Structure 1
């Protein structure tokens, strides 16, 4: 069902690529582009179909996010965060979820980490906290914040009108994601606007049988791979035009340049193939979940290595602001810093694959 959507994204990609320098400069995706992505349904990709979502399969999510990452890392990242987070609507009270999706500009973002506190109150919770790395928060129609309650961790869906966004996103890469901090101060959140991923979803489609944390994480690898593909393409264009000042030949004739392009292309292709194969093979047992998380981390690392290869092969040309290679280099290395693709997750996956039954697997 999502193939026509992928075609629509591909048709939009050239326009996004043209906007990429401005997106980085303004530290945010333009509202007009957000509107276009909303009209396509990108921000409701993982929401239940019966409520107005697309309920796309995980492999289609990978392909769409990779394409958007290829167009622009920051745009792909915002789309990935919002599209994947829309899975939350399967866990919310159905009436609440349907109400959220009625907004044609629907975009849910936020931070799952339990950086807030929630005190039980009449009809819900009193929520306070500060959450970091809230990508696309300025465009959100709903913001998720992880909270600690007396009964454990839950996720609260906050109205953006009830929070304060703090301009904190001064960073090396993915500058256009607008991943600022936001705060809430004693905000009353109805119980129907809270949920836990440890509880069963209200919808039983195959998408919601997919491991929830993996669904949230897979877009990181996909967007990183898209950035790598863009870097390979941009380097290829450079290599065919940049000339050796001594010989007059283009640098594409150099063996080291050819080897860099070949290895980078293989890293991208193998990372994407491994990720898609793991997504399609995933089950609910710990070993399958571990294998999937390993594929996501590997895709991200492959992407960074691919970008490194072509960035270094470009020489001094890559360091100028006018070169997209320096942006790809910075963007992909910010993606590698996400907690969901950290070495801790890889180590846990390895322990599970080695048969260690003592390691905690909740984060897989």
Structure 2
């Protein structure tokens, strides 16, 4: 059962309350290649799993600042735990906000809102339009959070008589199907360097009928449920905030761990502790300051857009570009912080199973994601420069 969430505490405290359990279970989660049942059950028992949902789906509709701080906390505890947070929580948020009433009733109401959802929203499938829905075929990679999900999201292109649908010139129609787990074929290839515990399995379907009411537009901002600005901003800003926060959380864990290590760390043939070395002191000051600046940029970009939407203004291409660039920049800064922390920690950062070692692997896996690639920065810059008016994928 999902507990009642005190609105004053909201969601950051729910995540913080999982520190001991996540730490204890981290190694077992990596061995299982998905979060342990104990962690997933605690996410449900605390209310964390549904907290980002619209109120109608058991959530509290937190602000962007609250979502960002919650994700930073989760990723600080463990990279895989944080990554599942940016997979499961936005997935159910989007489905609950944008599914038609009949789909919401089948997926959420019928299950008393106890719905864990993960998957890949990029349209790697094709859905042939048929009476009442789509016949869907496709294969998706990196279905994060699907190791423990009851429903799986799958992005696809709707097809009419073999032809792709177009929303406008150059912009194809893209939708997301919400599919019960038992109808999915999992092709487990999740053997990776980092983020081992995220259950990011490959999966596929072939000629599967999906009713139209269990699909929604990928770029929808027309919320059928929920009153927060986030529900009127669409899945892309929420996903971008998640990626930025995740990178910041992992980087902070490494900076914090190195700072704690510094007093007792002595390098071979060096009688001075790490903390007493001027080069370390300067490096720590620089990277902590860079991290703080990146965090403030993220909060500013997302809360500025949120305030605009709340006041009734349009979510302009410039506002969307600002958010996406903030996510890319925060990831770049976080990766630099992680590299520095890994180097100054010396052999303490290479011991298998340590927080430093795991966080370093996680950072260099998570920061490969296309969502925070250099192309996003270039698309945003072209909007700022007036070269293009908009880029629908932002």
Q: 1:332 to 1:247 in 2, by over 3 A?
A: closer
Q: 1:189 to 1:61 in 2, by over 3 A?
A: same
* Comparing 330-339 and 36-45, the one that deviates more: 36-45
Matched, 1:96 2:108: no
* Comparing 222-231 and 44-53, the one that deviates more: 44-53
Quote the offset at 1:83 in angstroms.
0.7
Going by fraction, where is helix more abundant, 1 or 2?
1
Matched, 1:248 2:254: no
Residue deviations 1:125-179, cap 9 Å, x none?
1111111010111211111101111233211111110011111111111111111
Matched, 1:27 2:27: no
Name 1:225's counterpart in structure 2: 248
Name 2:225's counterpart in structure 1: 203
Q: Residues 221-300 of structure 1 correspond to what in structure 2 (within 5 A)?
A: 221-282=244-305, 283=308, 284-300=315-331
Q: Residues 160-199 of structure 1 correspond to what in structure 2 (within 5 A)?
A: 160-199=181-220
- The secondary structure found in structure 2 opposite 1:143 is strand
In the superposition, the TM-score normalised over structure 2's length comes to: 0.87
Quote the offset at 1:51 in angstroms.
3.6
Q: Is the CA contact (8 Å cut-off) linking 1:5 and 1:40 kept in structure 2? A: no
Hey, what's the Cα distance between the residues in 2 that align with 1:137 and 1:81? 9
Name 2:141's counterpart in structure 1: 132
Quote the offset at 1:95 in angstroms.
3.6
Quote the offset at 1:247 in angstroms.
4.8
Name 2:387's counterpart in structure 1: 356
Quote the offset at 1:245 in angstroms.
4.3
The partner residue of 2:81 within 48, 53, 75 is 75
The partner residue of 2:126 within 90, 96, 117 is 117
Name 1:334's counterpart in structure 2: 365
Name 2:61's counterpart in structure 1: 55
Structure 1 unpaired stretches of 5+: none
Q: 1:260 to 1:17 in 2, by over 3 A?
A: farther
Aligned residues: 363
Structure 2 unpaired stretches of 5+: 1-6, 160-164, 166-172, 309-314
State the superposition RMSD in angstroms.
1.8
Hey, what's the Cα distance between the residues in 1 that align with 2:62 and 2:239? 13
In the superposition, the TM-score normalised over structure 1's length comes to: 0.94
Q: 1:154 to 1:244 in 2, by over 3 A?
A: closer
Matched, 1:158 2:179: yes
Quote the offset at 1:43 in angstroms.
2.9
Residue deviations 1:178-232, cap 9 Å, x none?
1110111211111100110344232362222224311122101101111111111
Hey, what's the Cα distance between the residues in 1 that align with 2:206 and 2:289? 49
Q: Is the CA contact (8 Å cut-off) linking 1:85 and 1:216 kept in structure 2? A: no
Quote the offset at 1:45 in angstroms.
3.4
Q: 1:124 to 1:354 in 2, by over 3 A?
A: same
Hey, what's the Cα distance between the residues in 1 that align with 2:219 and 2:350? 46
Quote the offset at 1:290 in angstroms.
0.6
Residue deviations 1:243-296, cap 9 Å, x none?
244453322111122222222211221111111111110140111111111111
Q: 1:288 to 1:165 in 2, by over 3 A?
A: same
* Comparing 150-159 and 41-50, the one that deviates more: 41-50
Q: Is the CA contact (8 Å cut-off) linking 2:51 and 2:58 kept in structure 1? A: no
- The secondary structure found in structure 1 opposite 2:174 is strand
